[in-house]
Amino acid sequence: MLNQGNDNSMDIQFYKYQGAGNDFILIDNRKKNNQLNTKEIENLCDRRFGIGADGLMLLQNHPDYDFEMIYFNADGKEGSMCGNGGRCIVAFAKFLGIIDTQTDFLAVDGPHYAKIAPAGDQVELQMIDVSSIEKDGNAFVLNTGSPHYVEQVNNLQQLDVYLEGKTIRNNETYKAHGINVNFIEDMGDHFFVRTFERGVEDETYACGTGVTAVALSMAKYKGQQGHISSPVKVLGGNLQIEFDYDGKTFTNIFLCGPALQVFEGKLRL
Ligand SMILES: N[C@H](CCC[C@H](N)C(=O)O)C(=O)O
């Protein structure tokens, strides 16, 4: 997979995936032969000096699971759980022939079960159970594998998500550890969501743990219980969150949507 040339350059095979417009560089690292450092990952994710992506993932072997997902944000640092990245790496594992239509894999927030729908490009990823949702003013704050801030707004299409999101992410409460900031508008039969992501430090076209945080917060806000299906529209497409809520804990949470390979190539480092 990795060729070490005489001139110390390396060629690493990579694949690019996107899930609802959240895009990732994926590398098969089962032989543990890549040596990417923070600066290199940041450069590769740069949209002008590199390939361009919201994050980079390594697929690695694990003794107890089908594979392990190692996720880096576009800033080159290892991130917390990435829902759309999780769906994309499942599609990648299928492409590599590691799994068929179901998998149990390990990510930074623990084990995840996922299944690939018969159509082929739809991946349903189980997320961690959630039992705590806090309030910050009118906003909801919760951890769905990554930390999220969820605020309802009017006229979301017109909102300056970069400016407003950056301001919240860097306020006194969140500055030290950062937070992903989701703005939502209730459209009646679905939620419209736009997200400013920490680690990318910009608005992305979709955020899986973010739309999950939105769906859970809104179910609690609306006093819903039982099995809930929550369709969400994001800048890069549509996602669906399915879960059970007994008024205390959210369980059987599934993030569902497309995960597509868009191209492959070789990294020159
Ligand atoms: N795009 C991701 C979230 C990445 C998490 C990252 N921004 C962090 O907080 O470390 C998702 O689909 O869930």
For every residue of 150-164, DSSP letters joined together read EEE-S-GGGS-HHHH
* Tokens 């769905």 found at: 144
Q: Looking at the CA of residue 81, tell me the nearest atom of ligand 1.
A: 5
> pTM of the prediction?
0.95
- Round the average pLDDT of the chain to a whole number and report it: 95
Task: State the catalytic residue, choosing from 45, 82, 88, 256.
Answer: 82
The answer to whether 128 and 144 have CB atoms below 8 angstroms apart is yes
119 band by pLDDT with thresholds 50, 70 and 90:
confident
Tell the CATH superfamily of the 2-126+259-268 domain.
Answer: Diaminopimelate Epimerase; Chain A, domain 1 (3.10.310.10)
Say how many Å lie between the CA of residue 138 and the centre of ligand 1. 23
> Alpha helices, DSSP H only, in the chain?
38-45, 83-95, 161-169, 208-221
Q: Looking at the CA of residue 200, tell me the nearest atom of ligand 1.
A: 7
9 band by pLDDT with thresholds 50, 70 and 90:
low
- Least Cα distance to 42 among 14, 77, 18, 15 occurs for 77
Burial of residue 88 (number of CB atoms within 10 Å: 0-12, 13-18, 19+): buried
Given a cut of 70, is residue 14 above it in pLDDT?
yes
User: Average pLDDT in the 177-203 region?
Assistant: 98
- pLDDT per residue over 27-79, tens digit each? 999 998 877 999 999 999 999 999 999 999 999 999 999 999 999 999 999 99
Instruction: State the amino acid at position 98 in one-letter form.
Output: I
**pLDDT for res 92:** 98
Name the DSSP letter for residue 220: H
- pLDDT per residue over 218-243, tens digit each? 999 999 999 999 999 999 999 999 99
Given a cut of 70, is residue 1 above it in pLDDT?
no
Q: Looking at the CA of residue 197, tell me the nearest atom of ligand 1.
A: 7
Give the residue extent of every domain in the chain.
Answer: 2-126+259-268, 134-256
Given a cut of 90, is residue 151 above it in pLDDT?
yes
**pLDDT for res 8:** 44
Equal CATH topology for 2-126+259-268 and 134-256: yes
Percent of the chain with pLDDT over 70: 96
Say how many Å lie between the CA of residue 258 and the centre of ligand 1. 17
In the residue annotation, 82 being an active-site residue is answered as: yes
**pLDDT for res 101:** 96
**pLDDT for res 197:** 98
Determine the Cα–Cα distance for residues 211 and 189; give it in Å rounded to an integer: 15
Q: What residue's CA is closest to ligand 1, atom 11?
A: 82
The answer to whether the CB of 230 is under 6 A from ligand 1 is no
The answer to whether the CB of 212 is under 6 A from ligand 1 is no
Say how many Å lie between the CA of residue 82 and the centre of ligand 1. 4
In the residue annotation, 256 being an active-site residue is answered as: no
Q: Which CATH class is domain 134-256?
A: alpha beta
* Tokens 């508008």 found at: 185
Given a cut of 60, is residue 5 above it in pLDDT?
no
The answer to whether the CB of 234 is under 6 A from ligand 1 is no
Question: Which residues define the annotated binding site for substrate?
Answer: 22, 73, 83-84, 180, 197-198, 208-209
